[in-house]
Amino acid sequence: MYLVFAMELHFHKYQGTGNDFIILDNRDLQFPKDDTNLVARLCDRRFGIGADGLLLLEDDSSSDFNMVYFNSDGNLGSMCGNGGRCLVAFANSLGLVEGKVHFMASDGLHEATIAGEQVSLKMSDVSKINKKKKAFFLNTGSPHHVQLVNDLNNFEVVKEGRRLRFGVYGEKGSNINFVEQLSPDTFMVRTYERGVEDETYSCGTGVTAVALAMHYAEKTESTEITIRTKGGNLSVRFTAGQKGYKDVFLEGPATFVYKGTVEW
């Protein structure tokens, strides 16, 4: 006879311009981070809570907290911009931070400020942008392909995104961003995200990549750019120099959706 003991998992759900996340307070280190199937099941939109990814808030000796991010397929992910902003909002709700924040992520130390639901997150510096035949490639904490297209609203993002993600970048892959310019300092973007293997409503590192790539391509002279996603608007501001881009900030809303308990 086998006894199965269910454990309760308390979670919070947040979203940043439609990019949604399950967030867990894992300061007691009880969550089984090596259980890929559990993470994928929790993120499943039919059989679980449903999310683009899962975030753990953990203690860190050199900053306010440590961020651990999993893609919805259950695997550890690279930096997630909207996830970072949502985790800052969650930490603020716990009373761990207020105003200015410093936290550790997979690509190093980040700083952020929070005022209400608005979170401004400093992203990694970008020193290199590769120009491809019809696109640009850069790493903003996660790898991104940025490609200008016409009639973005009717573009086959999933079909073409999957083709490029696997066909050009292999199994490790890249996120794929399709872009249309709306005005001198405003762009619309739709993103196919690796790890989710689908289009998401928004991607923070992708939005950042688009802003920098469009400035690099001389499509805009502005160093403060508005990006429209399916889930809402984000802004990216930066300083451009001979050695690349620094003081890169991603700003927008990070919103609490609901909280609950599941058994696992």
Catalytic pick among 88, 203, 225, 254: 203
Tokens representing residue 173 in the block? 């892959």
Where would I find the H helices in the chain? Answer: 36-43, 81-93, 157-167, 204-216
* Cα-based torsion angle of the residue sequence 69, 75, 80, 86 in order, rounded to the nearest 10 degrees: -40
Strand boundaries in the chain, DSSP class E: 8-16, 19-25, 53-58, 65-71, 100-105, 108-115, 118-122, 130-131, 136-139, 143-148, 175-183, 186-193, 198-200, 224-229, 232-241, 244-253, 255-263
**Distance from C-alpha of 256 to C-alpha of 89, rounded to nearest angstrom:** 8
- From CA 261, how far away is CA 264, in angstroms rounded? 10
The whole-angstrom separation of Cα 85 and Cα 253 is 8
One-letter identity of residue 109 = L
**Out of 38, 80, 114, 207, which one is annotated catalytic?**
80
Nearest to 226 by CA among 213, 208, 240: 208
Active site residue 86: no
Active site residues: 80, 203
